[in-house]
């Protein structure tokens, strides 16, 4: 009888918890309890015994039962403004998907002749859609939307007599583009929000534009390498431009005229982006009064909720029965698992800090790391988190390790902003395994990407990603 992944987790979690309790006898009682709970939760997260969000809630309940936290403060993160930012941005993405705006954007880009000249130029068109959309829409939604389009196109590319197909590299490249693009904005990937929130607790405030100015160069560097890397694989395959043009034209011509729902969604989305970017623009221009006003009254969370409310309030003519662009039915179709994971996980992460466990771990690591070896420290932190993300949710890893890394930086009396940025970005740069990120899982589920191909292709990107992120962090620290 073979043990399932779930059964392994049910056996492993309590065993690791007992070992952790035995190993940490010298810690303060609160820190010892938190360490034990976190190891238990990590085992559950990695083996997915129960939904990820429920594991986070299990950890919080265990903290209450063991006297680490009281009920009044344990779940307060569920009302955190960043939860509202999550909900608002997910509803914006839902409106795009519901009304077909995301598919229209994809077909519009792919219908440009510049993207129909070669196999790589076609891949470039798809990957650009994936990269740009993932800045604003869930990575998993972006790849799930593109997958049917890509499979249809790939059927035209595949030569019946050939055993080799460009499909694995094509699909992997689209998944990687989504993960890389998602780090560019605060709302692009859950770990970004987690990092911003923990930095805010340390008195470091990051607005939407500031994040883009720091993360976009990292993202673009990785995207450029990924394009060159995938191009090297795609050069081995032949390509028929006529079939692709026919496919794109067929799907473009069958697209209905742009609907009122799409127009409203695009208008509300544009308004949200303008409001998100405005405080950073005013700050750059030295307009302090305008920056203060926008930051106070139009914070990222407020804008996201306002945008969602507008989508519920504005009816798209008669095409929706007189209801809003979004309806009550759309509320149940957003990613509540991630939202609840974030709320429960933030509570666990906060316990790592308040119990003193983060400082203990930080002191342990700093005892054998020379503060002068900054490049090595950043490389180890980034590489370690990136590889851990291969076997667990990037959100769960960020929740668990960002406060620990802040504790390490505090012990070394090093600036927190850029190393935390690097670690948070690394959480979304895992490319080797299906379980690492939702985009990886989605393309693997197409049955056209062998696991061996994903591991070998992703390993190179993991190593390059660690180097690229480390280089940018060190560069920022040197300024």
C-alpha gyration radius of the chain = 23
Q: What confidence score (pLDDT) does residue 243 get?
A: 64
Mean pLDDT to the nearest integer, 222-244:
82
Question: Mean pLDDT highest for which of 189-193, 338-342, 380-384, 423-427?
Answer: 423-427
Mean pLDDT to the nearest integer, 424-445:
82
Q: What confidence score (pLDDT) does residue 371 get?
A: 64
Q: Decide if 401 contacts 388 (C-beta within 8 A).
A: yes
Residue linked to tokens 């011509």 = 253
Start-end of H helices in 316-416: 328-331, 336-354, 357-366, 374-389, 394-411
Q: What confidence score (pLDDT) does residue 159 get?
A: 55
DSSP 116-151: GSSHHHHHHHHHHHHHHHTTTS-HHHHHHHHHHHHH
Angle between the N-to-C axes of helices 374-389 and 451-478, in degrees from 0 to 180, rounded to the nearest 10: 150
Work out the mean pLDDT of the chain and round it to a whole number: 82
Question: Mean pLDDT highest for which of 74-83, 216-225, 261-270, 449-458?
Answer: 216-225
48 has pLDDT over 50: yes
Q: What confidence score (pLDDT) does residue 1 get?
A: 43
Q: Decide if 179 contacts 437 (C-beta within 8 A).
A: yes
438 has pLDDT over 80: no
Distance CA 393, CA 385 (A): 11
Distance CA 365, CA 359 (A): 10
Q: Decide if 441 contacts 398 (C-beta within 8 A).
A: no
Mean pLDDT to the nearest integer, 53-63:
89
What is residue 159's DSSP assignment?
-
* Cα distances (angstroms) measured from residue 205 to each of 81, 297, 330, 362: 14, 16, 32, 23
Distance CA 11, CA 160 (A): 47
Distance CA 174, CA 171 (A): 5
Distance CA 275, CA 231 (A): 37
160 has pLDDT over 70: no
N- to C-terminal Cα distance for the chain? 58
Top pLDDT among 465 and 120 is at 465
**Of the given ranges (220-224, 242-246, 265-269, 329-333), which has the lowest mean pLDDT?**
242-246
Angle at 336 between CA 334 and CA 338, to 5 degrees: 110
What is residue 326's DSSP assignment?
S
The sign of the dihedral angle between the CA atoms of 97, 99, 102, 103 is positive
Split at pLDDT 50, 70, 90, the class of 399 is confident
Q: Counting beta carbons within 10 angstroms of the beta carbon of residue 287, is it exposed (0 to 12), middle (13 to 18) or buried (19 or more)?
A: middle
Q: What percent of the chain has pLDDT over 90?
A: 20
Residue linked to tokens 């997915």 = 48
298 has pLDDT over 50: yes
């Amino acid at each position: 009888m073979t043990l399932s992944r779930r059964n392994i987790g049910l056996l492993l979690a309590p065993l690791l918890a007992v070992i952790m309790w035995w190993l940490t006898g010298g810690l303060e009682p609160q820190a010892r309890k938190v360490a034990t709970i976190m190891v238990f939760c990590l085992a559950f997260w990695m083996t997915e015994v129960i939904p990820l969000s429920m594991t986070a809630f299990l950890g919080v309940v265990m903290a209450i039962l063991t006297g680490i936290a009281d009920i009044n403060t344990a779940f307060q993160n569920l009302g955190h403004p960043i939860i509202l930012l999550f909900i608002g941005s997910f509803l914006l993405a839902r409106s795009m998907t519901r009304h077909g705006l995301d598919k229209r954007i994809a077909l519009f880009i792919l219908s440009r002749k510049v993207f129909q000249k070669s196999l790589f130029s076609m891949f470039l068109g798809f990957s650009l859609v994936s990269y740009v959309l993932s800045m604003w829409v869930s990575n998993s939604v972006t790849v799930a939307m593109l997958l049917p389009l890509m499979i249809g196109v790939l059927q035209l590319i595949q030569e019946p007599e050939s055993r080799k197909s460009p499909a694995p590299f094509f699909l992997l490249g689209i998944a990687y583009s989504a993960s890389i693009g998602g780090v560019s904005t605060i709302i692009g990937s859950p770990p970004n929000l987690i990092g911003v929130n923990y930095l805010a607790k340390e008195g470091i405030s990051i607005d939407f534009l500031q994040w883009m100015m720091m993360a976009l160069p990292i993202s673009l560097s990785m995207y450029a390498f990924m394009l060159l890397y995938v191009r090297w694989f795609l050069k081995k395959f032949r390509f028929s431009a006529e079939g692709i043009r026919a496919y794109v034209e067929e799907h473009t011509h069958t697209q209905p005229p742009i609907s009122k729902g799409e127009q409203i969604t695009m208008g509300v989305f544009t308004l949200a982006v303008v409001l998100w970017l405005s405080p950073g623009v005013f700050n750059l221009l030295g307009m302090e009064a305008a920056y203060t006003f926008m930051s106070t009254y139009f914070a990222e969370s407020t804008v996201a909720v306002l945008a969602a409310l507008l989508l519920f309030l504005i009816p798209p003519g008669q095409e929706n029965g007189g209801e809003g662009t979004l309806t009550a039915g759309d509320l149940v179709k957003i990613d509540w698992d991630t939202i609840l994971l974030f709320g429960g996980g933030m509570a666990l992460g906060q316990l790592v800090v308040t119990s003193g466990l983060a400082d203990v771990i930080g002191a342990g690591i700093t005892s054998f790391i020379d503060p002068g070896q900054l490049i090595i420290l950043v490389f180890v932190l980034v590489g370690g988190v990136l590889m851990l993300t291969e076997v667990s949710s990037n959100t769960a890893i960020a929740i668990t390790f960002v406060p620990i890394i802040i504790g390490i930086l505090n012990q070394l009396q090093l600036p927190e902003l850029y190393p935390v940025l690097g670690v948070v970005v690394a959480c979304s740069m895992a490319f080797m395994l299906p379980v690492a990120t939702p985009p990886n899982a989605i393309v693997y589920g197409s049955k056209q990407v062998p696991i061996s191909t994903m591991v070998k292709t992703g390993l190179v990107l993991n190593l390059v990603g660690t180097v690229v992120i480390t280089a940018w962090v060190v560069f920022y620290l040197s300024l």
